[in-house]
Chain A
Amino acid sequence: MSADTSAAAVTKDSGVDPDKSTSLAKAGAWARRAPLLPALIFMIVVTQLPFVATIVISFMNWNAYYPKDRSFAGLDNFKTVLTDVNAREAIIVTVLLTVGVVLISLVLGLAIALLLDRKFKGRSVARTLMITPFLIVPVAAALLWKHALYNAQYGLFNGVLKFVFGDSAPQPDWISDHPLIAVMFSLVWQWTPFMMLILLAGLQSRPMDVVEAARIDGASGWQIFTNMTLPHLRQYIELSGLLGAIYIVQNFDAVFTITSGGLGTANLPYYIYQTFYSAHDYGTASAAGVIVVIGTIIIATFALRTVLSLFREESR
Chain B
Amino acid sequence: MTTVKQAQAGPAMTQAGKKKRSGVLLTGAAWIISVLFVFPVVWMIWTSFHSETDAATNPPKILSPFSTEGYSAFFGSNPWPPILNSLTASVISTVFVLCLALPAAYALSIRPVKKWSDVLFFFLSTKFMPVVAALLPVYLFAEKIKFLDNIWLLIILYTSMNLPIAVWMLRSFLSEIPDEMLEAAQVDGAGLVRTLREIIAPVIMPGIASAALICFIFSWNELLFARVLTGTRAETAPVFLTGFVTSQGLFLAQVCAASFVVSLPVLAAGFAAQDKLVQGLSMGAVR
Where the two chains meet, the residues of A that have a C-beta atom closer than 8 Å to any C-beta of B are 2-3, 6, 29, 32-36, 38-40, 42-43, 46-51, 53-54, 57, 112, 115-116, 118, 120-123, 126-141, 143-149, 151, 153-156, 158-160, 162-163, 189, 192-194, 197-198, 200-202, 205, 236, 239-240, 243, 246, 249-250, 252-253, 256-257, 260, 268-269, 272-273, 276-277, 282, 285-286, 289-290, 292-293, 296-297, 299-300, 303-304, 307-308, 310-311, 314-315
B59, B101, B251, B263: the one contacting A137 at CB < 8 Å is B263
Instruction: Establish whether residues B37 and A133, one from each chain, have CB atoms under 8 Å apart when the complex forms.
Output: yes
Instruction: Establish whether residues A201 and B121, one from each chain, have CB atoms under 8 Å apart when the complex forms.
Output: no
- Bound Cα distance from A132 to B34, whole angstroms: 10
Instruction: Establish whether residues B134 and A47, one from each chain, have CB atoms under 8 Å apart when the complex forms.
Output: yes
Instruction: Establish whether residues A197 and B30, one from each chain, have CB atoms under 8 Å apart when the complex forms.
Output: no
- Shortest A234–chain B CB gap in Å is 13
Listed residue (B26, B123, B131) with the most chain A CB atoms within 10 angstroms of its CB = B131
**14 contacting pairs across A/B (C-beta < 8 A):** A34-B103, A39-B104, A112-B33, A118-B23, A128-B271, A154-B57, A198-B278, A243-B282, A272-B136, A276-B135, A289-B134, A292-B130, A304-B125, A310-B285
Task: Give the 6 A-B CB pairs with smallest separation, nearest first.
Answer: A35-B103, A140-B259, A289-B133, A53-B137, A135-B270, A300-B128
> Which residues of chain B (235-261) have a CB below 8 Å from chain A?
237-238, 241-242, 244-245, 247, 251-252, 255-256, 258-260
Q: Does B119 contact A (CB under 8 A)?
A: yes
- Bound Cα distance from A71 to B44, whole angstroms: 52
**Closest residue of B by beta carbon distance from A33:** B113
Which of chain B's residues have a CB closer than 8 A to the CB of A160?
Answer: 59
- Shortest A54–chain B CB gap in Å is 5
Which of chain B's residues have a CB closer than 8 A to the CB of A297?
Answer: 128
Q: A39-B101, A268-B132 are in contact. Are A135 and B163 (CB under 8 A)?
A: no
Which of chain B's residues have a CB closer than 8 A to the CB of A127?
Answer: 34
Instruction: Establish whether residues B223 and A256, one from each chain, have CB atoms under 8 Å apart when the complex forms.
Output: yes
Instruction: Establish whether residues B255 and A143, one from each chain, have CB atoms under 8 Å apart when the complex forms.
Output: yes
Instruction: Establish whether residues B277 and A252, one from each chain, have CB atoms under 8 Å apart when the complex forms.
Output: no
A257, A272, A299, A310: the one contacting B242 at CB < 8 Å is A257
B127, B136, B252: the one contacting A276 at CB < 8 Å is B136
**Closest residue of A by beta carbon distance from B44:** A144
- Bound Cα distance from A148 to B138, whole angstroms: 36
Query: Which stretch (B4-12, B153-161, B202-210) binds chain A?
Result: B153-161
